Amino acid sequence: MFTDQQYESPLTCRPYDLRHACVSTWLSGGVPPTQVATWAAHTVDVLLRIYASCLDGQDEIAKRRIPEALA
C-alpha cells in the first residue's frame, strides 16, 4: 500500500500517528472542529482536549474571514 519512501516516513510507525497527523492537518487547515470530530469519531470535547494545540492562532484566521463573509 505504501511506497518505499512513504513506508520509511515517521508517519507510518503506527497507524495512530497517521490518524493524528490527518486530524491535526484538518484542524490547522481551518476545518470546523464539529466536522473534524464527526470524521474522527470523537466528541468535540475529546477532540479539543487532544488537539487543542492545533487550534492555536486560529482566532486570527477567523477574524480575517469575518469581512469576507460580510462582503
Note the pTM of the prediction, 2 decimals.
0.61
> What H or E segment, with its residue span, contains residue 34?
helix 33-40
Give the residue from 61, 67, 50, 66 showing the smallest Cα distance to 28: 61
Cβ atoms of 36 and 27 within 8 Å: the answer is: yes
Q: What is the pLDDT of residues 33-63, one digit of tens each?
A: 999 999 999 999 999 888 877 776 777 777 8
> In the chain, what percentage of residues exceed pLDDT 70?
89
Cα separation, 12 vs 19, whole angstroms: 10
pLDDT surpassing 70 at residue 11: no
pLDDT surpassing 80 at residue 2: no
- Which whole number is the average pLDDT over 25-29? 87
pLDDT surpassing 80 at residue 12: no
